[in-house]
Amino acid sequence: MHGEYKVPGGKLVVVDLDTEDGLLRHVRVAGDFFLEPDDAIESIDHALKGAPADTDAAGLAARIEAALPPGTVMYGLSPEGVAIAVRRALAHATDWTDYDWQLIHSAPESPALHMALDEVITTEVAAGLRPPTLRVWEWAAPAVVIGSFQSLRNEVDPEGAERHGITVVRRISGGGAMFIEPGNTITYSLSVPDSLVKGLTFADSYAYLDDWVLGALGDMGITAWYQPLNDIATDAGKIAGAAQKRIVSGTGAVLHHVTMAYDIDADKMLDVLRVGREKLSDKGTRSAKKRVDPLRRQTGLSREAVIERMIGSFRGRYGLTTGKVTDEEMARARKLAATKFSTPEWTARVP
């Protein structure tokens, strides 16, 4: 069995192993990390050999931690990262490079249709009818997108939304409200097979699926990091928020979508969103304006250039062919947008 795990902000950990009688055997850990002293790698291998194959990642990490020689220094890896690689090997997880990725970057669409396209495309990936897909959104209208479980009245001021001509839609994933203006927002979706995140906890899957965009931002001169559970942050503040939805039909798939602030009209946002004190306090700030720091100021690049560089970074890492939404997929999405995502029953399902 073979498992790989790129430690967020760190290095690649590779584990090869067998199992016999429910125990780990012939364990070999490798990777492009740094480790001192040299024989610490042997201690890690020995710590894992003989462990019950159903030991969770925390239990495996504890075995590794206990076996490390005094003064061990790890750079680019951690006991937890090795443990996750083991769990991915046991789960027969796949890797980014195992797939032929497809890019969809098409004309602007309505907020409701974007919600529907996410559901349709991810369901197609789960059914094995389309390859894993990176979809970059273009917005036809301003919007507030609320999470699947958020209260509509608690999150949105209807008078403010009407005053600014903003459509309110509810997505299928959890998480918080996102304030969208077409020229000020960068949004993308990853629709991936469930096997890509096998062996990862729900929280770890966020960091894993965000890692490529951290690299893309780094190439643009921005030092960014994953901030649990679902934010991407820099020293200057939060720049993006992610959300996920698991599709259990077929062989399973994960929708992971991210909204990034290229620029933002903070006064308008506060006129539309009802940002609670609790939400601000847990971010360590008193002002909602300080919570989002636009990419325009940090990069000095146009929105189009930022998107182009992000796509180029993904293509350089994993390969990416240009595709499109099929006629059948679009027909299904338009129907779903009309019968679900544009209806008061769905938008106000949590009043």
Give me the mean pLDDT over the 202-221 stretch.
Answer: 94
- Cβ proximity of 300 and 247 under 8 Å: no
Percent of the chain topping pLDDT 90:
89
Query: Among 8-12, 208-212, 322-326, 327-331, where is mean pLDDT lowest?
Result: 8-12
Q: What are phi and psi of 199, to 5 degrees?
A: 85, -5
CA gap 102, 20 in Å, rounded: 39
Burial class of residue 115 in the structure, from the number of CB atoms within 10 Å of its CB (0-12 exposed, 13-18 middle, 19+ buried): buried
Confidence band, pLDDT 50/70/90 cuts, at residue 291 = low
- Cβ proximity of 325 and 303 under 8 Å: no
Query: Among 117-121, 153-157, 275-279, 319-323, where is mean pLDDT lowest?
Result: 275-279
Give me the mean pLDDT over the 208-227 stretch.
Answer: 94
The pLDDT tens digits for 225-265 are 999 889 999 988 889 999 999 999 999 999 999 999 999 99
CA gap 19, 291 in Å, rounded: 48
Residue 277 has pLDDT above 90, yes or no: no
Query: Among 1-10, 44-53, 182-191, where is mean pLDDT lowest?
Result: 1-10
Q: Structure pTM?
A: 0.91
CA gap 276, 112 in Å, rounded: 26
For residue 88, the number of C-alpha atoms closer than 13 Å in the C-beta half-sphere is 28
Residue 287 has pLDDT above 90, yes or no: no
Residue 176 has pLDDT above 70, yes or no: yes
Residue 290 has pLDDT above 60, yes or no: no
The pLDDT tens digits for 140-151 are 999 999 999 999
Give me the mean pLDDT over the 16-30 stretch.
Answer: 98
Residue 282 has pLDDT above 90, yes or no: no
pLDDT of residue 10: 87
The pLDDT tens digits for 108-151 are 999 999 999 999 999 999 999 999 999 999 999 999 999 999 99
Average pLDDT value for the chain? 94
